[in-house]
Structures are given as C-alpha cells and as structure tokens.
C-alpha cells in the first residue's frame, strides 16, 4: 500500500457540545484533553481520553455540512466499548439521560452486552467478558 | 470511577457488507481479521485492522434496529484518520466510489486535511502533518 493509517479517532458530532462533554466525563470517566470553544458557545473541537483511546467531539456546524444524529434521526455508527461492568455503566448512563436500546444479555461468544443511546443520539455497545457457556 | 474503559472500537453499519469490506481493503489497506456471514449473505460481524486500530463493520439489521447512513440520509459521526498522504489516499478513495466532501486544504494547526464520504455514507476526515505556517 502507498499510504499507512497511523491513527484512528471516532469523531462524534453533537447538538450541545458542553453538555455532551459533561456526559462523557460523568458516565465514561472521560478526561478532557482539549476543548476549543467558539464565541457563540459551540465546541469547535474537543478531545476526550477514554481508556486507551481518544474520542473527538464537536458541535454541529451545518454551515460546513457537519450535523449530528439529532439532525438525522439516528446513527449508522456504534461505538463499542469493552468495560469492567456493563450493568453498572448502563445504570450510570441511564441516570445521566441515556436510554436502553438493548437490555444487558449474556452473548454466546462470551461477552455480556447491552446497547444504549446517549442523550445526543449516539449509540454505544457496552461489553464485558463472561465465562464461555458450558456445552 | 467504578468502571474502566478498556477498549474502544468504531463499529460501522453499512448496506452491503461484503462490498464495504472490499472498499476498506482497497482504499485503506485494511486487513480482514474476522468475517461472520449469514446464510442470506449479510455480514453479521467483521473486524478490520486499520493501522493500530480495529474497525468493526456489519450489515444493516433493521430487525434489531441496526441501520446505516443509507437509511438516515447521512451520519453524525466521522472517523478521523492520520495517514501518510491525504491527497493520495483521497484519490484512491474517489476511484473506489467515494465522493469528496471537503477538498484537501492546509489547516493552520499544522495538518493537511480533506473529508470524504464513502459509497456507504460514512464520512472520513483524513489528515497528515505539515510544517506549521511561518508567522
């Protein structure tokens, strides 16, 4: 290949950047690394450390064609997180305004999973390892 | 925090999983690590190594509420890639059916960037470092 991919960052667009940053901190324990705010209060760019990854986040900028799940009525991307405890994290997310899309369930491939939708319309598939089922 | 985030994976939903896997291989040099196909031909789950990251991908499963940007008419998530050469990668993406959303431009923060939309409606912000502008 001519080109090499050096880094990969999910970049979430939201309606309500400051509140979304708060949500990520409160629910996911995100650490705010960077926040560039515009005079109009919109977050032009933010970087949030989430475990080993950096998740980027910005407000909608319809003037540049940047819109969020709130504009589209949904999302075709999920962020899949491997976490310590799916149930505890989902409970905290729900308290912070998320909705449960798929209740926690033990999957046959050895992962307990649930799916939540955050208040900004992004969807998160949460998983933690469980013992493989006996056969 | 009670929970710790251990891993973060972008999970892209597409209409046309096998063709989307081909696109990622051809354009991004992705390595196919996992592919689970259903009898109906849909990709239930795939894992693609892209540089240091694993990107997950699956077909739409409307019966489980899983839809792609083709269903929503757009996406509120961007995948930001740091690459060797924005222009060369964009050219290859366009040859494979992507469209240019933002032409390559040298940004003041020291990154040459462009934005493309792949044939499945996902958007990619490509960047490579450039010397900081003299002031």
Transcribe A75-105 into DSSP letters. -SEEEEEEES-HHHHHHHHHHTT-EEEEEEE
Q: Which residues contact B70 (CB under 8 A, 6 or more apart)?
A: A76, B14, B15, B60, B120, B121
Which is more confidently placed, B4 or B31?
B31
Which tokens hold the place of B69?
Answer: 């940007």
Task: Tell me what pLDDT residue A4 has.
Answer: 84
Report in angstroms the alpha-carbon separations of A98 from A26, B76, B92, B112.
12, 17, 39, 36
- Confidence tier at B135 by pLDDT (50, 70, 90): low
Judge whether B77 and B83 are in contact, CB under 8 Å: no
Of B8, B73, B92, the CB nearest to A50: B8
Which of A65, A67, A73, A76 to mutate to test binding with chain B, by most B CBs within 10 Å of its CB? A76
What's chain B's average pLDDT?
A: 95
Task: Tell me what pLDDT residue B3 has.
Answer: 56
Judge whether B60 and B75 are in contact, CB under 8 Å: no
Interface A-B, measured as beta-carbon pairs within 8 A, has a size of 179
Task: Tell me what pLDDT residue B124 has.
Answer: 98
Task: Tell me what pLDDT residue A132 has.
Answer: 74
Of A58, A121, A50, A48, the closest CA to residue B115 belongs to A58
What average pLDDT does the segment B46-58 reach?
97
Is the full-model pTM beyond 0.80? yes
Task: Tell me what pLDDT residue A110 has.
Answer: 94
Of B8, B75, B92, the CB nearest to A81: B8
Rounded to two decimals, the ipTM of the complex is 0.95
Hey, what domains does chain A have and what are their CATH numbers?
Answer: 11-129 (3.10.180.10)
Distance from CA of B112 to the nearest CA of A (A): 15
pLDDT digits (tens, 9 = 90+) for A8-25: 999 999 999 999 999 999
- Confidence tier at A54 by pLDDT (50, 70, 90): very high
Task: Tell me what pLDDT residue A133 has.
Answer: 65
Which tokens hold the place of B9?
Answer: 């994976």
**Exposure of A63 by Cβ count < 10 A (0-12 exposed, 13-18 middle, 19+ buried)?**
exposed
Q: Does position B73 have pLDDT exceeding 80, yes or no?
A: yes
Q: Does position B52 have pLDDT exceeding 60, yes or no?
A: yes
Residue of A nearest to B28 (CA): A5
Which of B8, B68, B92 to mutate to test binding with chain A, by most A CBs within 10 Å of its CB? B8
Distance from CA of B115 to the nearest CA of A (A): 11
Q: Does position A135 have pLDDT exceeding 60, yes or no?
A: no
* Cα–Cα distance, B52 to A132 (Å, whole number): 28
* Cα–Cα distance, A52 to B5 (Å, whole number): 8
Of A5, A78, A84, the CB nearest to B28: A5
Contact state of B82 with A5 under an 8 Å Cβ cutoff: yes
pLDDT digits (tens, 9 = 90+) for A82-132: 999 999 999 999 999 999 999 999 999 999 999 999 999 999 999 999 987
What percent of chain B is predicted at pLDDT more than 70?
96
- Confidence tier at A3 by pLDDT (50, 70, 90): low
Q: How many residues does chain A have?
A: 135
* Cα–Cα distance, B37 to B44 (Å, whole number): 6
* Cα–Cα distance, A13 to A77 (Å, whole number): 12
What average pLDDT does the segment B80-88 reach?
96
Q: Does position A1 have pLDDT exceeding 90, yes or no?
A: no
What average pLDDT does the segment A77-85 reach?
97
What average pLDDT does the segment A38-56 reach?
97
Distance from CA of A57 to the nearest CA of B (A): 9
Contact state of B5 with A77 under an 8 Å Cβ cutoff: no
What's chain A's average pLDDT?
A: 95
What percent of chain A is predicted at pLDDT more than 90?
93
């Amino acid at each position: 290949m001519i080109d090499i991919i050096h880094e990969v960052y999910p970049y979430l667009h939201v309606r309500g950047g400051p509140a979304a940053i708060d949500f990520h901190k409160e629910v996911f324990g995100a650490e705010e690394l960077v926040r560039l705010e515009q005079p109009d209060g919109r977050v032009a760019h933010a970087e949030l450390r989430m475990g080993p990854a950096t998740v980027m986040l910005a407000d909608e900028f319809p003037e540049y064609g940047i819109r969020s799940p709130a504009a589209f009525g949904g999302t075709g991307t999920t962020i899949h997180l491997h976490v310590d405890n799916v149930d505890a994290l989902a409970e905290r997310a729900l308290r912070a305004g998320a909705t449960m899309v798929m209740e926690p369930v033990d999957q046959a491939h050895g992962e307990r999973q649930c799916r939540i939708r955050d208040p900004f319309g992004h969807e998160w598939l949460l998983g933690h390892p469980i013992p493989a089922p006996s056969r």
